[in-house]
Amino acid sequence: MQRNTIRVFLVLILILLAVIAPVIFSGYSELEKASTSNTYNEAAQHYESAAQRIPWRADLFELSGHAYYHAQEYINAGAAYQKAFERSALSSEGWVAWGDVTYLNKNPQGATDIWEQALKLNNPSEQLYSRLAQTYQETGDHPKAADFLQRYVSIHSEDASAHYRLGLLLTLSDQNTALSELITASQLDPQLDPAVQTLRTALNLASLNDSPSERFVIIGRGLGLIEEWSLARAAFESAVKADEKNAEALAWLAEANQHIGVVLSGEALSTLAPDASAGEGQSGGDRLDQALSLKPNSSVIRGLRGLYFQRSGNFRQALEEFQYAARLEPDNPAWQVSIGEAHSKLGDLIRALEAYQHATTLAPEDANYWRLLATFCAQNGVYLRDVGVPAAQRVVIMSKDDPMAQDLLGWLLLLDSRYDDAERHLTRALELDPQNASAHLHLAMVYLQKDDRAAAYDHLILARDLGNGEAEALLKQYFP
């Protein structure tokens, strides 16, 4: 009896092996095909097929997810990572990648949940910290974002970008540590130094002000200067919360909202400005009106209102605001530039020119205002010989070895049909900066005028490859 039982058992095992073995062998065949696939998509399919045939290789679902990830098939990648998770076969890197594809599938909250869950692993990936810092910053939870980024920086002390991002976040809560992180970032990467110096100045100025609301305004303006408008908006929100009657904080908040395309709901707005109307919310113009009612003789508010009207195409109203600001600060050349731009938009080039020239008389030693005057002449093709070229020459004198100054003068000379002089300055610009796309474009235009098509073509190609769109149009026009 026992022998018969053993015999039956062995037969069953042989039958089972006969059924299972081909499946397993086909699984390994799929695995071999995955390693030799020509595309990520094909490899992903083979890995997934192999995982289904080889039960003890559930890790192959993660490899399938990685391949789908590289193929930018994010939905399929997410499904593959899900299968690996269900079989407890997801590595720490797999958790990170699963969150990545979830984020790329436009589900940032789902990605955050995955990464938060991954933190509970015995050996979580350090990459989780930087990703969670990013998602929490995007949702406006800056304290959490800073906390995760601090953890990341503690591991990656040589990552300049991480130090810089951490410094930006800490400007809202811990200015001293923020300054330390920003300085570290600029030491690791000198290219960050201009932005760091701007923020350093803002933080130092803020530390001298006794008003918490004003401190946040100063910090927000510094963040705005380096185009960090989302963080700037958070700073201006804090300024308004600290002092609901701070008119300039309200105006700057409207400016930040315009930059990031935000119009707060009436409910959210009511926490910042009790006098605001509920229901439909408040536009940037409404908030600026509120700021003006609180402080009608503020040049800052007038100037920000001018920018608001200018962006909306109401150049007449913008002009009036800039003129009002100029009356409040008659010695500020920036208002004259804004007045000149508004006149130009309205088609009054004579008054525009007068405003730009007035700016140079207010700041005769500032090359930037001479540059703006020369650029105005070049863009509008007016007063080139009498005003534009002399202004550009002054910029060259004041900005020694500045390739942009040489390019500007070369451009003006080109427009004034002085091709040999233009060629000389544009060549000098490229000696100083061979990657100057604008100088390549202008030099190509000089060669077109001198009928040197070969040289023109070469410089147009270089300008195009450096990202100049106008060069692309000229290539199609002259070299179809």
Q: What is the pLDDT of residue 37?
A: 82
Q: What is the pLDDT of residue 98?
A: 95
14 pLDDT tier (thresholds 50, 70, 90): low
Q: What is the pLDDT of residue 281?
A: 44
Better pLDDT: 253 or 1: 253
3-state secondary structure string, the chain?
Answer: CHHHHHHHHHHHHHHHHHHHHHHHHHHHHHHHHHHCCCCHHHHHHHHHHHHHHCCCCCHHHHHHHHHHHHCCCHHHHHHHHHHHHHCCCCCHHHHHHHHHHHHHCCCHHHHHHHHHHHCCCCCCCCHHHHHHHHHHHHCCCHHHHHHHHHHHHHHCCCCHHHHHHHHHHHCCCCHHHHHHHHHHHHHHCHHHHHHHHHHHHHHHHHHCCCCHHHHHHHHHHHHHHCCCHHHHHHHHHHHHHHCCCCHHHHHHHHHHHHHHCCCCCHHHHHCCCCCCCCCCCCCHHHHHHHHHHHCCCCHHHHHHHHHHHHHCCCHHHHHHHHHHHHHHCCCCHHHHHHHHHHHHHCCCHHHHHHHHHHHHHHCCCCHHHHHHHHHHHHHHCCCHHHHHHHHHHHHHHHCCCCHHHHHHHHHHHHHCCCHHHHHHHHHHHHHHCCCCHHHHHHHHHHHHHCCCHHHHHHHHHHHHHCCCHHHHHHHHHHCC
| Per-residue model confidence as pLDDT tens digits over 103-125 | 999 999 999 999 999 999 888 99
Rounded mean pLDDT, 181-201 = 96
Rounded mean pLDDT, 444-457 = 95
| Per-residue model confidence as pLDDT tens digits over 79-99 | 999 999 999 999 999 999 999
| Per-residue model confidence as pLDDT tens digits over 275-305 | 333 223 455 678 899 999 999 999 999 999 9
- Using the predicted structure, report yes or no on whether residue 357 has a pLDDT greater than 70: yes
Ordered by start, the domain boundaries in the chain are 40-118
Q: What is the pLDDT of residue 27?
A: 60
What values do phi and psi take at 439, rounded to 5? -65, -40
13 pLDDT tier (thresholds 50, 70, 90): low
- Using the predicted structure, report yes or no on whether residue 271 has a pLDDT greater than 60: no
- Using the predicted structure, report yes or no on whether residue 21 has a pLDDT greater than 80: no
Q: What is the pLDDT of residue 272?
A: 37
Whole-number Å distance between alpha carbons of 444 and 461: 9
Better pLDDT: 17 or 211: 211
State what percent of residues in the chain have pLDDT above 70: 89
CATH level 3 topology of 40-118: 1.25.40
Better pLDDT: 26 or 215: 215
Whole-number Å distance between alpha carbons of 65 and 60: 9
| Per-residue model confidence as pLDDT tens digits over 398-449 | 998 899 999 999 999 999 999 999 999 999 999 999 999 999 999 999 999 9
| Per-residue model confidence as pLDDT tens digits over 25-70 | 566 677 778 778 889 988 998 888 887 777 778 888 899 999 999 9
